[in-house]
Chain A
Amino acid sequence: MLQTVSLSCLRGDRRLFSNLNVTVQPGTLLAVVGENGSGKTSLLRMLSSLLSPEDGAILWQGQDIREQREQYCAQLTYIGHLNGIKDDLTAMENLALSASLAGDHCDGPVAHAALEAVGLRRQAHQLPTKVLSQGQKRRVALARLWLSTRPLWLLDEPFTSLDTAATGLVTEQLQKHLTRGGIAVVVTHQEVGLPSGLIQRLRMNG
Chain B
Amino acid sequence: MNWSKYSAPLSFYPLAGNMIPWFSALAALAMAVGLYIGLLVAPTDATQHDSYRIIFVHVPAAWMSMFLYVVMAIWAGIGMGLKARLSFMMAQAIAPTGAMFTFIALVTGCMWGKPTWGTYWVWDARLTSELILLFQYAGVMLLRTSIDDLRRADRASGVLALVGVVNIPIIYFSVQWWNTLHQGASVSMTAAPKMAAIMLTAMLLMTFGFWMYSIAVVLSRVRCVILERESQPAWGDPSSVPEVAEAR
Contacts and interface: CB of A to CB of B under 8 A. Distances in A.
Q: Do A and B share a complex?
A: yes
Given A12-B149, A12-B150, A202 B239 contact: no
B245 interface: yes
B235 A205 contact: no
A11 B234 CA distance: 9
Contact of A18 (B150, B235, B239, B243): B239
Interface string B207-248: 000000000000000000000000010111011111111111
Contact of B241 (A16, A20, A200, A201): A20
Interface string A9-22: 01111111111111
A69 interface: no
Interface string B130-155: 00000000000000000011110000
Nearest to B234: A15
A196 B248 CA distance: 6
A199 interface: yes
A124 interface: no
A5 interface: no
A186 to B, nearest CB: 14
A200 B150 contact: no
Given A12-B149, A196-B248, A203 B236 contact: no
Contacts of B248: 196
Contacts of B150: 12
Contacts of B241: 18-21
A204 interface: yes
B236 A16 contact: yes
Interface residues of A, number: 24
A197 B234 CA distance: 37
Nearest to A11: B149
B246 A10 contact: no
Nearest to A32: B242
B246 A200 contact: yes
A185 to B, nearest CB: 13
Given A200-B247, A206-B236, A20 B149 contact: no
A183 to B, nearest CB: 15
With most chain B CB atoms within 10 A of its CB, the pick from A15, A34, A197 is A15
Given A12-B150, A13-B234, A14-B234, A205 B242 contact: yes
A145 B241 CA distance: 32
Interface string B17-58: 000000000000000000000000000000000000000000
Interface in B56-81: none
With most chain A CB atoms within 10 A of its CB, the pick from B150, B241, B242, B246 is B242
Given A200-B247, A201-B245, A14 B235 contact: yes
A15 B235 contact: yes
Contact of B236 (A14, A21, A22): A14
B242 A202 contact: yes
B143 to A, nearest CB: 18
A196 B244 CA distance: 14
Interface in B169-195: none
B235 A204 contact: no
B124 to A, nearest CB: 46
A181 to B, nearest CB: 19
A81 to B, nearest CB: 18
A202 B238 contact: no
Contacts of A19: 239, 241
A196 B236 CA distance: 31
A188 to B, nearest CB: 14
B81 to A, nearest CB: 14
B247 A17 contact: no
B234 A22 contact: no
A203 B243 contact: yes
A167 B149 CA distance: 35
Given A13-B232, A13-B234, A18 B244 contact: no
Contacts of A196: 247-248
A205 B244 CA distance: 11
B234 A10 contact: yes
Interface of B: 148-151, 232, 234-236, 238-248
8 contacts: A10-B151, A12-B149, A13-B232, A13-B235, A15-B238, A22-B244, A202-B242, A204-B242
